[in-house]
Amino acid sequence: MKKLLLTILAVGSIAAANAQEGTILVYGNVGVTSNTDANKVNYLSWNITPGVGYQFDNHWTAGLSLNYSLDSSIKADGAADRLKASHYNIGAFLRYTKMLNNIFAVYGQLDLGYQAGHQELGSTEIPGSKYNGLYAMVTPAVAIFIPKWFALNFSFGGLGYTSYKVDQAPNSNGTFAFTFGKTMNIGISRNFGCGMGHKMHGHAQPGDDTRHMDTSDDDDDAPKAKKTKTKTKTKEKDGDE
């Protein structure tokens, strides 16, 4: 057991070190939500959210994300068709991550962007159901680092605001949604080194400030210093000069 714990800590340390300044974050989440509308109709929703961003310091990451979700009513007795709602998001995200230790981290993510969707009854689109607008969402989450430098991410909803306009409607609608505890999302993420962090951000390796230039290189084009050895000779006189 002790060896297992030490191994987990070592792996967590490697994973945490990988999520550093100058790396590319790639993640993907899937989620399931259940809710009931004003007409007491029960819905089951699933969503998928991929994203990619640049981690410009050890806490902050910014990037782009996509989202597709499908809400489907739970078919009641005697109902001919299900009511379905397809929803699309595309936007930017800003994430702040705080490491708690070598294995666990918490983060909060702000998402902003454009949204659109429509509704269908069975396989037929409902006239006048198309809409588009803007959205904002704040989501807290927990990350657990596992072997091979991946992290498992868990979130349980958050606080969001949407502003949308239905086709041919005179005015837009704005709503707040508090989904914490009503939604469960699970995903994976990984930070990839992009090869720019060391040069662009001036990361120093240990010993850089005390390292000396090696002048004994065997490069044929490099000028080399020559050592001159002075000898003093004593000449004995055998005769007159």
Q: Which residues contact 98 (CB under 8 A, 6 or more apart)?
A: 59, 105, 106, 107
What is residue 152's predicted lDDT score, i.e. its pLDDT? 95
pLDDT digits (tens, 9 = 90+) for 104-144: 999 999 999 999 999 998 888 999 899 999 999 999 999 99
Is 214 among the domain residues?
no
Is 133 among the domain residues?
yes
**Residue found under tokens 């999520």:** 19
Question: How many domains, in total, are found in the chain?
Answer: 1
* 35-49, 90-104, 226-240, range with the lowest pLDDT: 226-240
Distance between CA atoms of 95 and 19, rounded to whole angstroms? 13
Please give the average per-residue pLDDT across 190-197, as a whole number: 69
Is 235 among the domain residues?
no
Is 212 among the domain residues?
no
Is 97 among the domain residues?
yes
What is the span of the domain harbouring residue 159? 2-201
What is residue 144's predicted lDDT score, i.e. its pLDDT? 95
pLDDT digits (tens, 9 = 90+) for 61-107: 999 999 999 988 876 655 667 889 999 999 999 999 999 998 999 99
CB contact at 8 A, 95 and 57: no
3-class DSSP assignment, residue 43 = strand
CB contact at 8 A, 186 and 154: yes
Is 106 among the domain residues?
yes
What is residue 213's predicted lDDT score, i.e. its pLDDT? 34
Task: Answer whether residue 16 shows pLDDT above 50.
Answer: no
pLDDT digits (tens, 9 = 90+) for 143-187: 999 866 789 999 999 999 999 999 888 889 999 999 888 888 999
Is 229 among the domain residues?
no
What is residue 87's predicted lDDT score, i.e. its pLDDT? 94
CB contact at 8 A, 90 and 114: yes
What is residue 75's predicted lDDT score, i.e. its pLDDT? 64
What's the whole-model pTM score?
A: 0.66
Task: Answer whether residue 196 shows pLDDT above 90.
Answer: no
What is residue 76's predicted lDDT score, i.e. its pLDDT? 60
Domain of 99, CATH number, reads: 2.40.160.20
What is residue 114's predicted lDDT score, i.e. its pLDDT? 98
The H or E element spanning position 2 is helix 2-18
Is 218 among the domain residues?
no
